[in-house]
Amino acid sequence: MIEKMKTLPTIVLCLAVSFMVLGCGSGIDSAKAATEFNTANSLRETDKPKAIEHYGAAIQADPSMDEAYFNRALTYAEIGEVAKAESDLQSLRDLKSEHAETLDGLLSVVRQ
């Protein structure tokens, strides 16, 4: 019984390390996502196609970054690519983002 008690901390430590390693492999790179998002925002007024590329890179780095979907959708709408904006709206809905309702309202103007 005492021998089993001694191995318990080792098992707990192994499980903790395993969860940390698996969590780190989630594929989300928040720093890269933030950098790409900020770059896209700085380009949005002067080079919309490049901004869209950078929003896409931000989304690829962090697929849960709802602000990137929102801003990319607005940028798509500004250049007349409403179907692509609608696709980003659906992504926001899938993420259950609070931005989905706002974007839907903004796109309703473009849909008319």
Confidence at residue 9, expressed as pLDDT on a 0 to 100 scale = 54
Quote the percentage of the chain above a pLDDT of 90.
Answer: 71
Euclidean distance between CA atoms 71 and 81, whole angstroms: 13
- Mean pLDDT for all residues in the chain: 84
Whether the pLDDT of residue 98 is over 70: the answer is yes
Go through the domains of the chain in sequence order and give each one's CATH number: 27-111 (1.25.40.10)
Confidence at residue 28, expressed as pLDDT on a 0 to 100 scale = 84
Mean pLDDT over residues 76-96, rounded? 97
| Top-confidence residue, 99 or 19 | 99
Residues 42-79: tens digit of each pLDDT: 999 999 999 999 999 999 999 999 999 999 999 999 99
